[in-house]
Structure 1
Amino acid sequence: MLPLEGVTVVSLEHAVALPFATRHLAELGARVIKVERPGRGDFARDYDRAVRGGMSAHFSWLNRSKESLTLDLKVPRAREVLDLLVARADVVAQNLGPGAAARLGLDAQTLVGRHPALVAVNVSGYGPAGPYRARKAYDMLVQAESGLIAVTGSPQQPAKAGFAAGDVAAGSYVIQAVLAALLRRARSGAGAALDVAMLDALTEWMGYPVQTVEHTGQEMARSGISHQSIAPYDAYRTADGDDVLIGVQNDGEWRRLAEGPLARPELVDDPAFATNVARVRNREGTDAVVAAEVAKLGTAELEAGLDAAGIAYARVNTVAGVLAHPQLAARGRWVEVGSPVGPVRQSRPVVEFPGENARLDPVPALGAHTDTILRELDLSAEEIAGLRADGAI
């Protein structure tokens, strides 16, 4: 039995942050009912057409193992249906635009006021109070506001993270919040009204840069692929043209690297390289000497030498390389999941419970479960037909 079997989650969701969270709740066994607008649905369905057959890669990634229910909440009968659904739910979450949920009476605080045992979560960009509370917030905007862009990129050019870091950070805290609230409810019977803000989540993930600036008063320099406070910790090109990231964590490892793969034992006691402080101060020289020696070695020879010396390293992979990664293949980390356009390859759940089959249900077509869910709410065929005629579903 998966740990969240028997838990029903109703999610008024779009884009990335909340769908990321609810997908993982579904994989833990929860029944996730995704409420979408009739006709268009979650706008992430239209972000791109990367998946064969025209489906969005964003939507494919974020929405397997869910049920899609279409409701137009501007139609009174649709709202009545949603109220019936909420009354039977264990968790209700929403990431509607700023103020929209409150206007509809669907914010967490209002819902828990009506249903004291409910776990309800608001997901927003900047939180429910403060001067930014009414601002729209998208992932890249929050990356900018949180300082992430300021510390990412090369010394010459800042850059955003290559994935939706703010969304994923917020979604991760939604998962944590829901699980903690359900555990508390099992002990006390009390629900919870919770707020998760993208800016708060990503600022927490920025802890190291924030602490550094707090205590030094100096902004951190962008360092590209290298580490700001450790050297050598960078990518170096082999004679075969591969970029290998070598991470030396302490002076003992530097000794083993210099005496082993680099074959430069004289560097161990050279004052310019003997300590990490010296190597960072002399970063240009450190990188130059490591790059020069690595360039003489084939990739296999370098990796064998690093393994023998106990030095951590990694290939700087392309995304195509990740899809073919031997470690992921050996551990069976790729599976096929059903979707409206046919089977799609995706990664397995990160956490799987021993003896339980991972939940890998299809990515839903828009409104695929509407009639089934309405029948469960004891609506008759005539009532369902009337809702459809009114444009409520």
Structure 2
Amino acid sequence: MRVLGMISGTSHDGIDVGLVDFDPDYAGGTLAGVVEYTAVLPYPSELRARLVRALPPAAVTLAEVCELDTLIGQSFAEAAGTAIERAGPVDLIVSHGQTVFHWVEGPRARGTLQIGAPAWIAERTGTPVLSDVRVRDITAGGHGAPLVCLLDVLLLAGYPGTAAVLNVGGIANMTLVRGPDDPLAYDIGPGNALIDAVIAGRGLNACGFDRDGRIAASGTVDERLLAVLLDDPFYRLPAPKSTGKELFHAAYVEEAMAKAGTRPADADLVATLTELTVRTVARAVRAAGAGLLVVSGGGCHNPVLMDGLRRACAGVTVAFSDDYGAPADAKEAIAFALIGWHTAHGLPGTVPSGTGARGPRVLGSLTPGSGPLVLPAPLREPPRALTLTGEVPARGEEDDRRRADRFTGGR
């Protein structure tokens, strides 16, 4: 079964695409998948600017939400159409869409909103679309995040100790795979969110992020500000927990500087926010006693952040998700393709100990394609492990992998 997964994460910079051909003869045990195509497609600059202006804590009208829902849906439709033109037809498309609000009160998630109307994708491709994949977990008492936990658990099923699987996007989230014990997954805190907010807000780089960590590398950490940032109550909440740009945004940085009574230069501020991510992640990894840290997401390309993690996690083996068959820039898209495969076969797509839900749930809502909606025969047993294959480019092989578009095998 060929499933195309798509997501725009909390960096709000574009659409990650991953096409996986899952073994049609799966009969229990280990599921095999071939990653046939991945791409990272940036939003048009005007659309991204408009989206960012609408995000919390900004006030926004329903008219603007409606228009963004359509425009983002059309962007996802174009991304799906391009993937199919280049890699061939697919059986199912899974569109996570774009998160614009994640409603959390203390330890509980109350709701979540992803936009990007799936009907545009179905109309463009003629393929059924699974969308709205988070909210069912929230109705069962979970956080609806991090759903990538399902992929992490299956990919690292053979690791004998405790593995920490980290995604550094706008928000940093981590799955702890602990052998036969229940896994644990949660949002750690701001991955790139605060760094990107400062860089975009102060016009420090036209690309909107700290390319290659150059700005952070030129600055010095402000320890007084860092202490205030590390004291946020969110870090003391028990896992599982979730967060987003509803908390970690540009105004949050301004408030922290005012509380600390310091106003560092631009490079020093970026260095401090980068160190915040390093320390919060390293603290979580050390507390878990992990022997392996597997990293994915945009933060992979920031050498200041990665070098900081290696230093702070001394004695822990640090690897990239590429080593496990999931290209770091497309891992979340691949995770949603996997969730789609589960839903199509009537299997839960959640790990309750990872989201905090009362139990596992089959995820998403289906929009039919151009023909009758026909699903595979239900399966009784979910996979206990996953192997992914496909050619993964060597790190550094591309000029800018955050804007890459590539086949990794394919037809």
TM over 0.5: no
TM range (shorter): under 0.3
- Name whichever structure is richer in helix by fraction: 1
- Name whichever structure is richer in strand by fraction: 2
Output the TM-score relative to the length of structure 1. Answer: 0.26
Greater RCO, CA 8 A, separation 6+: 2
Larger Rg: 1
